[in-house]
Every structure is written in C-alpha cells, then in structure tokens.
C-alpha cells in the first residue's frame, strides 16, 4: 500500500509534465523528491522507531501518506507538488524503517530470513500492482483522481492495520526517549562498518533501480512510440520480476550462500544488463530483455541487504536504527539516480550514456561487497 505511492508516478509522468509544464529534468525530481526524507533522515527515523515504538511510527507514516496524496491532487504548481511528494516520502520512510522490526518480533528465528525476504518485495510488488491497474483506472479519471483514490485506499488500510496489529507490544521498554539517547544510537550504528557498507551497497542498487524503473515508460514512449497503457504494462511486468529476485535472495541466504557473494554477483549482472537496456542501436527485444534481467537478478540485493539488518546491527535494540541507515543509503540512490540520468541524457542527446553510468555504479557495488566479506557478524 505504501509503495503504491511510488508506482503511481512513472506511468503518468507525461501527464504531470503536460499539466504543470515541466521539462525532463524537473520531472526527474518529481520521482526523486519522494525519497529525499530518507536521504536526510533515514537513520534518525529508525532511531525514533526504536525509541517511541515501531507500530506507532508505522501507523503515523501511513497517515502522512494519506495527507500528502490527498493534498497533492489539488496542487497547481511544481513547488506544491514537490512539497506533497516530500510529505508522502516522509510517511513512506516511517513505514519502511518500522516494519522489519515488527516482523522480527512475530516470526520464529529460523524463519526470519524468509520473512524478511518477503518483506523486501514491498517495493516491486506495490509498484507493479499499481502499474498493472493504472491503465484501467485512467480510463475514468486523471492523475489527480488517481492521487485521491490512493488517499482513500490508504485510509481504509490504516483502519484495518490498526486493529490487526493491536497485539504487538513495544519491544524496547527500557529505552528513555531523549536527544542524547537518539544521537548515541545513530552514532553507534552509523560508525559500525557492517551497517555502513550495507547502506553504501543499497545506495548503488537503488540509484540504478529507480533510474531504470522511473524512466522506462518515457524510454518506451520516446524510442518505440508505444501507447501509455502498453508502456505501463511493460514497466509493471519488469518491476514485478523483481519480486522473484527478492524471494530467490531469501532462499539462497537460507541455503547458506554468502551474503557478500550474492551482492557481488548481482551487481555484476545489473551492470551488464544496463548495456542492453540503454543500447540505442538495438531493438525492443534486446532492450526489454535487459530490463527483465536487470530486475529479476537485481531483486537479490534488497533481500540480502535488508535481511542483513538484524545480523549486522550493533545490538538487538538497534535493528530499526540499522534499517534506517540502510534505507537512508537506498533513498540517497533513489534521489540521485533519476536526475543524474535525466541530465546525462539531456546533455548527450542519447540514452546510451545510461550504460556506462549504471555500469560504473554497479562496479562500486562489487567493491563494497568485497569489503563486506571482511566484516565479522552474527552469522559467523
């Protein structure tokens, strides 16, 4: 439900550009601003969740998304739309830093890797579902109506989730809220090598992921002149393939595959796939096959990174703070990815630049995974 707010933008980005008279670079910020709160406050949000309660912050985050989506449907300027997307992003951040700890509380220890790999599907599942239904919904309304429908859906889900999670208690009863404690938790987590490297790896992944997913509909429309409906379906299917990668990552981790090796292999595969995706001289078959490969194999990284939060956390009471640091890394990549790619395409006049740009980022992911292999953690 939270990730619906990510998936609702790419297919209607052209409509938003026409309505508010935006260029490609500003449109990139409509995609990225959603993640700006995570870039600025990811670790802090996790520490807040560890301090005030994960369930409270999760529900508050959903309410923020309700307000942001509803207000966004009435915006008439680029600045106001960015402000409401920022609010939605703050709510999204609150949700995604809170839920892993709640999951960790309600599953058996032996099932935690599988449970967290299921959780790591939240983004591709939510985005792809939204994209599959968008062409049907847009027959009856415009992008503003879509924002209002999402606000109604979120409101109903908040009511349901409030009742369904009422039995989950506050894990850290001994914690005393305060800035000193909050700062200490953030400092301890962000200076621990394991969480820091996982966050950097997530940055490289997310930077590639949103750059491809966010602009795939635009690429399909401009290069192959597909209809908006077909571009939405093709993008939705590409995103949905990421779910299988998430699940595969959880299975491989449970089977005993080393986390750093999975990350290194996946980074190499994503970098290679980007060559096929942005090859302007190639036809649709090669470009789209590259997208599917990129998404399917790439899904291993979120499972490996998010599933590593309880393993690499400095202590059991800092799981959400660690998750927040990882999310901060991921959101940093998502904020930077689309505008940088849009600027490179605008400057060079071709999508070919995406190959070397994303390939370079993937190489960084491989380097960080090698460094991660040298860190001792609870799995050893």
* CB-count exposure of residue 52 (10 Å: 0-12, 13-18, 19+): middle
pLDDT of residue 66: 97
pLDDT of residue 367: 95
Question: How far apart, in Å, are the Cα atoms of 254 and each of 104, 244, 247, 258, 328?
Answer: 16, 15, 11, 10, 26
Comparing 355 with 44, which gets the higher pLDDT? 355
The Cβ of residue 303 has, within 10 Å, a number of other Cβ atoms equal to 29
Comparing 34 with 42, which gets the higher pLDDT? 34
Whether residue 379 lies inside any domain: the answer is no
Asked if residue 151 has pLDDT above 60, the reply is: yes
- Per DSSP, 375 falls in state -
Mean pLDDT lowest for which of 44-53, 161-170, 308-317?
44-53
Contacts of 332 (CB under 8 A, 6+ apart): 35, 38, 39, 203, 206, 207
Whether residue 380 lies inside any domain: the answer is no
pTM of the complete model beyond 0.85: no
pLDDT of residue 301: 93
Contacts of 297 (CB under 8 A, 6+ apart): 245, 266, 269, 270, 273
Say how far apart CA 356 and CA 362 lie, in whole Å: 10
Whether residue 377 lies inside any domain: the answer is no
Whether residue 247 lies inside any domain: the answer is yes
**If DSSP states are collapsed to H, E and C, what string results for 115-157?**
HHHHHCCHHHHHHHHHHHHHHHHCCCCCHHHHHHHHHHHHHHH
Instruction: Return the top range by mean pLDDT from 30-44, 228-242, 319-333.
Output: 228-242
Say how far apart CA 133 and CA 236 lie, in whole Å: 9
pLDDT of residue 378: 52
For 220, the token pair is: 């399909």
Average pLDDT over residues 262-271: 94
What pLDDT band is residue 263 in, cutting at 50, 70 and 90?
very high
Nearest 10 degrees: Cα torsion 129, 201, 26, 289: -50
pLDDT of residue 171: 60
Mean pLDDT lowest for which of 14-18, 175-179, 234-238?
175-179
Using one digit for the tens of pLDDT, what is the confidence trace for 57-105?
899 999 999 999 999 999 988 889 999 999 998 899 888 888 887 887 7
Comparing 377 with 311, which gets the higher pLDDT? 311
Mean pLDDT lowest for which of 43-52, 102-111, 327-336?
43-52
Mean pLDDT lowest for which of 169-178, 196-205, 301-310, 361-370?
169-178
Mean of all residue pLDDT scores within the chain: 84
Share of the chain above pLDDT 70, in %: 93
Helix axes 319-348, 179-190, angle to 10 degrees: 60
What pLDDT band is residue 327 in, cutting at 50, 70 and 90?
confident
CATH of the domain at 308: 1.20.1250.20
> How many structural domains compose the chain?
1
What pLDDT band is residue 362 in, cutting at 50, 70 and 90?
very high
In degrees rounded to 5, what are phi and psi of residue 40? -85, -35
Comparing 361 with 105, which gets the higher pLDDT? 361
Comparing 242 with 117, which gets the higher pLDDT? 242
Whether residue 127 lies inside any domain: the answer is yes
Domain membership of residue 340 as a residue range: 4-169+178-372
Using one digit for the tens of pLDDT, what is the confidence trace for 153-212?
999 999 999 998 888 876 655 455 566 777 787 788 888 889 999 999 999 998 898 788
* CB-count exposure of residue 305 (10 Å: 0-12, 13-18, 19+): buried
**b/e map 10-44, b = 16+ CB within 10 Å:** bbbbbebbeebebebebbbbbbbbbbbbbbbbbbb
Using one digit for the tens of pLDDT, what is the confidence trace for 137-146?
988 999 999 9
> How many alpha carbons fall within 13 Å on the CB side of residue 233?
6
């Amino acid at each position: 439900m939270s990730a619906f707010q990510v998936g609702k933008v790419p297919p209607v980005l052209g409509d938003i550009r026409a309505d508010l008279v935006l260029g490609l670079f500003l449109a990139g910020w409509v995609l990225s601003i959603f993640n700006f709160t995570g870039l600025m406050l990811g670790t802090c949000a996790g520490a807040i969740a560890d301090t005030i309660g994960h369930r409270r912050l999760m529900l508050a985050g959903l309410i923020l998304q309700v307000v942001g989506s509803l207000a966004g449907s009435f915006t008439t300027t680029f600045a106001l739309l960015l402000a409401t997307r920022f609010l939605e992003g703050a709510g999204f951040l609150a949700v995604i830093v809170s839920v892993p700890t709640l999951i960790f509380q309600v599953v058996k220890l032996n099932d935690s890797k599988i449970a967290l790999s299921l959780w790591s599907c939240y983004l591709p599942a939510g985005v792809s579902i939204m994209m599959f239904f968008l062409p049907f919904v847009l027959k009856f309304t415009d992008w503003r109506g879509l924002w209002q429908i999402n606000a109604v859906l979120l409101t109903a889900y908040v009511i349901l989730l409030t009742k369904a999670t009422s039995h989950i208690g506050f894990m850290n009863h001994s914690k005393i809220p305060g800035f000193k404690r909050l700062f200490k938790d953030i400092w301890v987590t962000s200076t621990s090598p394991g969480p820091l490297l996982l966050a950097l790896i997530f940055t490289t992944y997310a930077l590639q992921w949103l750059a491809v997913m966010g602009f795939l509909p635009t690429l399909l429309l401009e290069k192959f002149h597909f209809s908006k409906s077909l571009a939405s379906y093709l993008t939705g299917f590409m995103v949905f393939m990421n779910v299988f990668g998430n699940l595969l990552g959880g299975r491989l981790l449970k089977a005993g595959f080393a986390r750093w090796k999975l990350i290194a292999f996946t980074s190499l595969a994503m970098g290679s796939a980007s060559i096929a995706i942005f090859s302007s001289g190639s036809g649709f078959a090669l470009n789209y096959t590259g997208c599917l490969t990129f998404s399917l194999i790439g899904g291993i990284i979120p499972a490996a990174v998010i599933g590593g939060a309880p393993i690499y956390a400095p202590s059991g009471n800092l799981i959400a703070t660690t998750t927040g640091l990882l999310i901060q890394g991921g959101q940093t990549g998502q904020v930077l990815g689309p505008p940088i790619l849009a600027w490179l395409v605008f400057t060079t006049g071709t999508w070919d630049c995406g190959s070397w740009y994303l390939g370079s980022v993937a190489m960084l992911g491989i380097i960080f995974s090698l460094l991660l292999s040298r860190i001792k953690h609870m799995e050893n």
